Structure 1
Amino acid sequence: MTIYYTLTFMLLVAEMATFCVIVAPLPHAARKRLLRFLSESPIVAKVAYGIKIAFIFVGILFLDAFQRMLRVTAEADLAKNSGSGMQDVRSETNFAARKFYSQRNTYLTGFCLFLSLVLTRTFYILLDLIHTQEEYAKLKQETAKSSRGKIASEEQAKQIEELKKKLAASEEKVRDYDIVKKQAEQNAKEYDRLATELNAANGNVSNKKAD
């Protein structure tokens, strides 16, 4: 295996390891710290930029390997259709090796590109899930606070209603007192008038102030 296909294989192994770590059943706090580190770390950003450039070369290798596989397959079909076959075992083995290597390189580079897409999509899905869980937790806390505030406001409303009832009862008592006071004043005036008339009838002038 040439050096660039060896590097492609190492990149594929690294992708598989990263994918296993990301989808592993980690605790929520550990997964949150891991995804936040991968998404916010400047070192990871630089490494990701270099990997993106590497994937461009992997794509070129995939196209080259795919063309070689098609060419080798076409040569095999041509040899079968012509009926000439292979001259000896050595040439047949060489042809089979060429076919195997072309298919291996095609699958290697193709799986590397495909897994990169799957890994990227899975990473962003999990990152969105973490953000959604954080927003849900904040919303839950705000809802709990608002519900507690609502309960407190309901209690305050009940207290205000009770105070209003007490105030209305007090005002009713004050009105009753005013009515009784007015009646007492009217009775006193009527008593004074009757007493004055009685004294006048008896020839004695009543001096209320002197009394």
Structure 2
Amino acid sequence: MSLFNQLAYYFLLAEMATFLILLLPLNFIPIRARKTAMEWAGLFLANETIVWLARIVLLAITGVFADTLVRLVKLDSDLHARSHAEGHYDSPMAELQFKAKLFYSQRNMYLSLSALFMTLVLYRRVKDLYLVLLLQFDNITTKASVSALEKQLAAVRLAPAAAAEHVSAAAPVDEADILASVLDPSGAEGLRKRS
């Protein structure tokens, strides 16, 4: 294997290992810790050196893919030229060498194309995991704010009941008056006079 083919192979192995790790459910880790870890990893991956290194590796893998396509086209044209001219190989060893070149070229094409495809899959998986994590975090914060509002509402409901006990019996409050004042958009005109 050449250096670039080895690079594509090890890059594909690293991508597959990362993808398998990302498939694990991490619900046992608190959401705040997961969110902090994802944000830290995002800052690390946004580093200019890391970005340029990833671009160079992806460019090298794309070059390996293009090179193997060119080799496969050349091998295919050799195969067609040989089949039209002679119909057979000079020796069994020549046929074996041709088949070995064809196998290695196809293998390198599959490795490099799989590495490029896994790059897209990993990008989408990490983005989806981060969006789900943000939704879960928003859900928790919303639940916390709703429970705080419910406590405030309960306190407000208890406050008029406590205040009503202290009001004298000479000035009773009618619920219809309160509803009419709240529902009337014209303001104070809708208030009924008390007798």
TM-score by length of 1: 0.71
Q: Please state how far the C-alpha of 1:15 moved relative to its aligned partner.
A: 1.1
Q: Which runs of 5+ in 1 are unaligned?
A: 170-211
Instruction: State the match for 1:2 in structure 2.
Output: 2
Q: Please state how far the C-alpha of 1:9 moved relative to its aligned partner.
A: 0.9
Q: Distance in 1 between matches of 2:142 and 2:123?
A: 29
Q: Please state how far the C-alpha of 1:17 moved relative to its aligned partner.
A: 1.5
Residues 151 and 81 (structure 1 numbering): CA distance in 2 closer, same or farther, change over 3 Å?
Answer: farther
Q: Please state how far the C-alpha of 1:86 moved relative to its aligned partner.
A: 1.2
Identity %: 24
Q: Distance in 2 between matches of 1:109 and 1:119?
A: 15
TM-score by length of 2: 0.76
Q: SS at the partner of 2:171? A: helix
Q: Distance in 1 between matches of 2:143 and 2:164?
A: 31
Q: Distance in 1 between matches of 2:34 and 2:134?
A: 12
Instruction: State the match for 2:77 in structure 1.
Output: 74
Q: Please state how far the C-alpha of 1:53 moved relative to its aligned partner.
A: 2.1
Instruction: State the match for 2:185 in structure 1.
Output: none
Q: What are the equivalent positions in structure 2 for 1:54-133 lying under 5 Å apart?
A: 54-82=57-85, 84-133=87-136
Instruction: State the match for 1:186 in structure 2.
Output: none
Residues 55 and 115 (structure 1 numbering): CA distance in 2 closer, same or farther, change over 3 Å?
Answer: same
Q: Does 1:134 align with 2:137?
A: yes
Q: Please state how far the C-alpha of 1:76 moved relative to its aligned partner.
A: 2.3
Instruction: State the match for 1:20 in structure 2.
Output: 20
Q: Distance in 2 between matches of 1:160 and 1:118?
A: 63
- Per-residue Cα deviation, 1:8-66 (whole angstroms, up to 9, x for no partner): 11111111111122222223336445423311237866334311221012112211212
Asked whether the equivalents of residues 58 and 116 of structure 2 are also in contact (C-alpha less than 8 Å), the reply is yes
The residue type paired with residue 104 of structure 2 is Y
The residue type paired with residue 20 of structure 1 is L
Q: Which of 140, 156, 168 matches 2:159?
A: 156
Q: SS at the partner of 1:41? A: helix
- Per-residue Cα deviation, 1:54-109 (whole angstroms, up to 9, x for no partner): 10121122112122223323332443355522111111011101111110110011
The residue type paired with residue 115 of structure 1 is M
Q: Distance in 2 between matches of 1:42 and 1:119?
A: 13
Q: CA RMSD in A?
A: 2.3
Asked whether the equivalents of residues 38 and 44 of structure 1 are also in contact (C-alpha less than 8 Å), the reply is no
Larger Cα-atom Rg? 1
Q: Please state how far the C-alpha of 1:161 moved relative to its aligned partner.
A: 3.5
- Per-residue Cα deviation, 1:177-197 (whole angstroms, up to 9, x for no partner): xxxxxxxxxxxxxxxxxxxxx
Q: Distance in 1 between matches of 2:70 and 2:23?
A: 35
Q: Which runs of 5+ in 2 are unaligned?
A: 173-195
